[in-house]
Amino acid sequence: MRRCCQAVGLPCLFKGVAMSGARQPRFLLVFDFDETIVDENSDESVLRGRALPEPLRQSPRGGSYNEHMQRVLAFLGEQGVRPADFRAVYENIPLSPGMAELFQFLSKHQELFELVLISDANVFGIEAKLRAAGALSLFRKIFSNPASFDRRGFLTLGPYHSHKCLECPANMCKRKILTEYLAQRAREDAEFQRVFYVGDGANDFCPAGTLTAADVAFPRKGYPMHRLIQERQEKQPGAFQAEVVPWESAAEVARYLQEMLRRKC
């Protein structure tokens, strides 16, 4: 059962819903990291200004990018790049336009929004950046490739999991992660009225396909996720169910969410 939003000082967020009960409305907000929260690909940020040998200059076509980055990080370790160096790089990656404003908005409404991050980057880099940005505590869960420093001080990387999705890289299917998370939270009696997905890449298109008509996909305008959604809508009208709200600045996401909270019953 749900408590009326007006009872906690907010406009009503639901129509035709029983209002008795103690649970406040909750929304799930899912973020990607590279070129979504931050304005760069963090792997490229780590490599900036560093010369790689020819075999490592291009990621393998049809091969595992995750395994390629394992080799790249091992090479950087051999060249003397150490934990403090990596941390400094990640901390200084710029946030995407408007992302600080979106985080500020979400920090004021933590009772309404549950945040998770699903990224094919790595846990060390993501946590370093979010901590530096003062946003780490906003996230309930971070799903990303495990990364830690070995006894030599080398940053080591692993795959997140295995899966059977034919559309995603072998180390991560974001659809599988999101689906399993929603099932887990349902078992824990968390009831999300809407799911919002903020992303940019082709690997964000797969999980966005699980969204329903009640949900919203926020693809970064002009990036692969946006183009793939447009192609799906053109080829199969109605196949992509969620509302689509492209963004150039994450402040647009904040304004959409703010307007949602302001709607009258």
- Give, in degrees to the nearest 5, the angle at Cα 219 between 218 and 222: 145
Neighbours of 204 (CB within 10 A): 32
Task: State the average pLDDT over residues 206-220.
Answer: 97
pLDDT for the residue numbered 219: 98
CA–CA separation, 93 vs 72, rounded Å? 19
120 annotated ligand-binding residue: yes
Q: Is the pLDDT confidence value at 4 over 80?
A: no
Is 150 in the active site?
no
Band (pLDDT 50/70/90 cuts) for residue 3 is: very low
CA–CA separation, 59 vs 14, rounded Å? 48
> How far is CA 74 from each of CA 148, 150, 157, rounded to the nearest angstrom?
12, 11, 9
200 annotated ligand-binding residue: yes
Q: Please write the tens of the pLDDT for every residue from 157-166.
A: 999 999 999 9
> How far is CA 159 from each of CA 64, 74, 212, rounded to the nearest angstrom?
10, 15, 29
Q: Please write the tens of the pLDDT for every residue from 76-129.
A: 999 999 999 999 999 999 999 999 999 999 999 999 999 999 999 999 999 999
Band (pLDDT 50/70/90 cuts) for residue 60 is: confident
Domains and CATH numbers, the chain: 27-39+95-145+160-263 (3.40.50.1000)
Q: What is the value of pTM for the model shown?
A: 0.89
Residue 209 gets which letter from DSSP? Answer: T
pLDDT for the residue numbered 264: 55
pLDDT for the residue numbered 18: 37
The first and second tokens of residue 23, run together, are 């649970």
Is 32 in the active site?
yes
Q: Is the pLDDT confidence value at 30 over 70?
A: yes
Tokens 């919002």, residue located: 196
pLDDT for the residue numbered 210: 95
CA–CA separation, 215 vs 222, rounded Å? 21
Band (pLDDT 50/70/90 cuts) for residue 191 is: confident
Neighbours of 240 (CB within 10 A): 19
39 annotated ligand-binding residue: no
Is 48 within 8 Å of 32 (Cβ atoms)? no
The first and second tokens of residue 218, run together, are 């926020």
150 annotated ligand-binding residue: no
189 annotated ligand-binding residue: no
Band (pLDDT 50/70/90 cuts) for residue 37 is: very high
Q: Which of 32, 85, 150, 204 is catalytic?
A: 32
Q: Please write the tens of the pLDDT for every residue from 233-264.
A: 999 998 899 999 999 999 999 999 999 999 85
